Structure 1
Amino acid sequence: MKPIMLHGHERSITQIKYNLEGDLIFTCAKDSQPNVWYSINGERLGSYRGHNGAVWCIDVSWDTTQVLTGSADNTCRLWDCETGKELAVLETLTAVRSCGFSYSGRTLMYSTDKTMGHPCEIHIYDVRDSTQVSNQSPAMVIPSESSKITAAIWGPYEEYIITGHENGEICHFDVKTCEKLISVKEHNKPINDIQASKDMSMVISASKDFTAKLFETATLRHMKTYKTDRPVNSAAISPVMDHVVLGGGQEAMDVTTTSTRIGKFDAKFFHLVFEEEFGRVKGHFGPINSVAFHPDGKSYSSGGEDGYVRVHTFDPEYFDFRFEY
């Protein structure tokens, strides 16, 4: 399983996203330039230039016409996917930590950091309403009183937003009433990443408490726990197999003092149901910050602290592998 190495970032990768068809990979990093690549051969298509700080999050609409990026330069920017033209700059008071398009692509949301006396908030815009975007008057602002939001995604049917918090909470925020509908606290350390399954029936959370946990999307009922021996920075659910992949590694500041062998920088594969680890993929020279499965399930990508994105295509044996039970 020889990977394709994508090197277009000077600093550590923060997030990887595939578009709906899976022919493009969108990456952002702690440098100020998000990139887009062909997933089949790793050729870089182009960059989105305009940010002045680390870009924490990236998302692409379902029809691959628009790209959304959130950055530490206190802006969330909307881009034309094809031309790289900047369509809108949504200015905020603090850094933008997570962002996303709803399933229809009609609305977008982003969450801001709780710093310098400013609260943590979710801002929601209607993309079709140009006056909303140009005047920077969001359709809705949802405050998060409890703890800073570190990860957020849209729920199915665009009725609520699923958020992961610094204190380990996972919540549903209603988009119409701005109320917190459900809150569960299965993790005891900050949540680094939340990703949904292909049919949106399950979500997986990755946390600094060395675990990833599987939840039912609608009720946030905790179903499975995948235990590791390191902080988990990202976790993804395979769209075709009962598998999950976890990426992580020890804290970036401790990396220089350890070899790659001890640092545990490999991607780990677990069985979705049995919670058993059955495979590891080595390669990164630092913690893995983001993992994502290709929509067809035949490959996956991982982005690390070393600034590289590695695209791994699975060997045929991977699809023949079955757990005996």
Structure 2
Amino acid sequence: MRPILLQGHERSLTQIKFNAEGDLLFSCSKDNIINVWYSHNGERLGTYEGGNGSVWTIDVDSESRFMVSGAADNTMRLWSVQTGKCLYTWEFPTAVKRVAFKDDDSQVVCITEQRMGHQCAIRVFNINREGDGTNQSKEPLYMFNPIGSKATVCAFTPTPNVIITGHESGKVALFNVKTGEEIDNNERAHGDVVTDLQMSKDGTYCITSSKDKSARIHDTKNLMVIKTYTTETPLNSAALAPDRPYVLLGGGQEAMSVTTTSLRQGKFETRFWHKVFEEEVGRVKGHFGPINTIAVHPQGTCYASGGEDGFVRVHHFDDSYLKAKPYGDLEIAD
């Protein structure tokens, strides 16, 4: 698996995302640029410029028409994927740490940071898809402040008006966005801050990663922990491989404590774990620093990782990966 190295950022990566078809890969980082690349050959297609701070988070809708980004300049921006124009800017009192589209593209949820006397807030906006997209409502449809530990990651669940959130304390919770009420929570889902949350294709379960060195799969209806993958390094990202029983985990020690360890001990590898048997099956090396974000192609043909070193590496899977029999001789129909 010779990686394609994408060099388009000057600072560490914060999030990468494939679009629904998987032909485009979006990346954002602590410089104020968002890039889009062709995933099959790593060619840079374009750049979205106009923000003034680290871009923490991005998401793209299912038609690859609109992209939404959240940044440290206290804004959430709506972009035209095709032209690279910023169509609308929402302004908040604090930085936007996470954004996510709903499956039907009609809404976006965003989390703003707890800072300077402002509480952590979760807001849901309707996205007006009529016309050119510049006519958006400034006010959120719903807004509430989660009580207790601040939220770090979120996503819509298949249940109407319900979002799933991961928190700084390690808690995973379900909220009704209309009332702002916490429907259910698992206080002990993780022992430290939840760093990533990615949904399965059908939305019935999700995977979370945490600084407590573990990743877990949760049922999105009742938050039951289905599987746990425990490693020996803090995790920053976890992704599910479609059509294959694997999960991909990435992390590594904090940059400041790494200078004292060799690359081998920094543990900057993407780890492949068997989703069902909870066993580690392989590792892919390459980054010169912690891996901050991982995304898998929607068809499962390749994956990409973004690191603290400012590089995105795209790995197209070899035939051996696609022909492997992860359950032995058992054939499992999708």
8 A Cα contact 1:102 1:158, kept in partner? no
Per the alignment, residue 235 of structure 2 pairs with 232
Per the alignment, residue 273 of structure 1 pairs with 276
Deviation at 1:132, TM superposition (A): 11
Amino acid at match of 2:24: L
1:222 matched to 2:225? The reply is: yes
Amino acid at match of 1:314: F
Distance 2:68 2:53 in 1: 15
Distance 2:57 2:179 in 1: 26
Distance 1:134 1:59 in 2: 17
8 A Cα contact 1:152 1:163, kept in partner? yes
Deviation at 1:158, TM superposition (A): 4.3
Per the alignment, residue 256 of structure 1 pairs with 259
Distance 2:134 2:62 in 1: 21
CA separation of 1:278 and 1:76: change in aligned 2, threshold 3 A: same
Q: Which of residues 292, 303, 306 in structure 2 aligns to 1:303? A: 306
8 A Cα contact 2:60 2:101, kept in partner? yes
* SS of 1:14 mapped into structure 2: strand
Segments of 5+ residues of structure 1 without an aligned counterpart are: none
Distance 1:172 1:133 in 2: 31
Cα displacement string for residues 242-296 of structure 1 (whole angstroms, at most 9, x for unaligned residues) = 1000000001221222221110000000000110001000000000000111001
Deviation at 1:174, TM superposition (A): 1.0
CA separation of 1:171 and 1:132: change in aligned 2, threshold 3 A: farther
Cα displacement string for residues 76-122 of structure 1 (whole angstroms, at most 9, x for unaligned residues) = 11111100111111001011000011111111111101110101111
Per the alignment, residue 41 of structure 1 pairs with 41
Deviation at 1:175, TM superposition (A): 2.4
Distance 2:258 2:24 in 1: 31
8 A Cα contact 1:119 1:145, kept in partner? no
Q: Which of residues 163, 177, 180 in structure 1 aligns to 2:179? A: 177
* SS of 1:257 mapped into structure 2: coil
8 A Cα contact 1:96 1:110, kept in partner? yes
Deviation at 1:149, TM superposition (A): 1.1
1:30 matched to 2:30? The reply is: yes
Amino acid at match of 2:25: I
Amino acid at match of 2:26: F
Per the alignment, residue 331 of structure 2 pairs with none
Distance 1:229 1:322 in 2: 27
Distance 2:91 2:162 in 1: 23
CA separation of 1:171 and 1:133: change in aligned 2, threshold 3 A: farther
Deviation at 1:319, TM superposition (A): 2.0
Deviation at 1:324, TM superposition (A): 5.5
CA separation of 1:304 and 1:94: change in aligned 2, threshold 3 A: same
Amino acid at match of 2:96: V
Q: Which of residues 130, 144, 147 in structure 2 aligns to 1:145? A: 147
Runs of 4+ off more than 6 Å: 129-133
* SS of 2:321 mapped into structure 1: helix
Equivalent residues in 2 for 1:159-174 (5 A)?
Answer: 159-174=161-176
Segments of 5+ residues of structure 2 without an aligned counterpart are: 329-334
8 A Cα contact 2:87 2:134, kept in partner? no
Distance 1:230 1:176 in 2: 38
CA separation of 1:158 and 1:54: change in aligned 2, threshold 3 A: farther
* SS of 1:278 mapped into structure 2: strand
CA separation of 1:31 and 1:184: change in aligned 2, threshold 3 A: same
Deviation at 1:159, TM superposition (A): 2.5
Amino acid at match of 1:169: K
The more displaced of 21-30 and 315-324 is: 315-324
Deviation at 1:137, TM superposition (A): 1.2
1:189 matched to 2:192? The reply is: yes
TM-score by length of 1: 0.97
1:282 matched to 2:285? The reply is: yes
Matched residue pairs, number? Answer: 325
Distance 1:16 1:22 in 2: 12
Amino acid at match of 1:264: K
Deviation at 1:144, TM superposition (A): 1.1
